Amino acid sequence: MTNTPKNATKRALVTGAARGLGPAIALGLARDGFDIAVTATNADRLADTLAAVAPTGCRVIPLALDVRSVTSVEQAVAKAVESLGGLDVLVNNAGITARTPALEVTLEEWNEIFRVNVTGALLMSQQVARHLVSAKRGGCIINIASTHGLIGFPQRLSYGTSKGALIQMTRMLAIEWAPHDIRVNAIAPGTVETTSRNEFFAANPATHQAMLRRVPVGRFATPDEVAGMVSYLASPAAAYVTGQTLILDGGLTAA
Ligand code: NAD
């Protein structure tokens, strides 16, 4: 990013862009003037995201991507680079979660959550960084972590530990890739009002109230608020910010 001429086209790839935070992040970057590759495990599910982004006039390409597969990662990054003429920004947003008492967490759950949330983010980061290093133009990687990676919550062992690992991976990659002008940062949102989260809370009102009581500002975040933080980290205003985790939690972790 820092080497990008001021009015040059910027190119971003957003994973997990079919629902939840992904579409808002893609729309935010499109409004900032990015051309974008939006990805989903099934590219057919990207129709709503494409329609939402279309009015910005940015170039947007839908891609199938399963971050668990090295081949899928290589193909998606190669297609994004080819279609957009390069990449400057990667947003590792794809993630899965689980809610299981620690004594009942299975090896299958643990491995699958790490496979998507940690290994998937690593594979994507390596593949995009290979492109950035060879293009010699710098860039930035933004990992969507969680407050669950910073503080303890009951029944969120696999998920929270995976997000803690993602936060540490952010520091490790930031240090190692700084000489290549690649910034690596994370965002740790508290609960965000997405459709799936709202459905979960509608079915579990006691959990909803308990989570809400912990948030000093008395509400959850919106997808647009996460998108705003992504826009900042992807912008030249954040040129000196790397290896950090920006917390967006209405005061949850300060309380
Ligand atoms: P979501 O479940 O609505 O969307 C997640 C996306 O990831 C989906 O589009 C899904 O298809 C994609 N995905 C899952 N497995 C994948 C795979 N193997 N390969 C590629 N894509 C895959 O979730 P969300 O609420 O929008 O969350 C987005 C990110 O934000 C996640 O990393 C999540 O952990 C994080 N987060 C969410 C909240 C929240 O309250 N919603 C809070 C903190 C952090």
191 CB less than 6 Å from ligand 1? yes
Residue 3 lies in a domain: no
- Binding site membership of 165 for ligand 1 (Cβ less than 6 Å): no
What is the 20 CA–ligand 1 centroid distance (Å)?
7
pLDDT at 6 over 50: no
pTM summary value: 0.97
Q: Can you tell me the distance from the alpha carbon of 27 to that of 229, in angstroms, rounded to the nearest whole number?
A: 13
User: Would you say the CB of residue 252 lies under 6 angstroms from ligand 1?
Assistant: no
Q: Is residue 203 assigned to a domain? A: no
pLDDT tens string 216-239: 999 999 999 999 999 999 999 999
Separation of 30 CA from ligand 1 center, angstroms?
A: 20
Residue 175, domain extent: 10-190+223-246
Averaged confidence pLDDT in the chain: 96
Collect all residues with Cβ–Cβ distance below 8 Å to 187 and sequence separation of at least 6.
Answer: 142, 143, 144, 145, 226, 229, 230, 233, 245, 246, 248
pLDDT in tens, 117-164: 999 999 999 999 999 999 998 999 999 999 999 999 999 999 999 999
Mean pLDDT of 227-253: 98
CA of 15 relative to ligand 1 center, distance in Å = 9
Atom 41, ligand 1: which residue's CA is nearest? 192
Cα torsion 146, 150, 156, 160: sign: positive
Residue 162 lies in a domain: yes
Confidence of residue 241 (pLDDT cuts 50, 70, 90): very high
- The residues annotated as belonging to the active site are 159
Structure-derived torsion over alpha carbons of residues 158, 185, 191, 250, reported in degrees to the nearest 10: 140
Whether the pLDDT of residue 1 is over 50: the answer is no
The tally of domains found in the chain comes to: 1
pLDDT, average across residues 167-192: 98
**Would residue 105 count as lying in a domain?**
yes
Name the pLDDT band for 8 (thresholds 50, 70, 90): low
CATH code of the domain containing 79: 3.40.50.720
- In short, whether 21's Cβ falls inside 6 Å of ligand 1 is yes
Question: Ligand 1, closest atom to CA 21?
Answer: 26
| Residue 211 resides in a domain | no
17 part of a folded domain: yes
Q: Is residue 252 part of a domain?
A: no
Report yes or no: 160 and 152 within 8 Å, Cβ to Cβ.
yes
Tell me how far the alpha carbon of residue 139 lies from the centroid of ligand 1, in angstroms.
23
204 assigned to some structural domain:
no
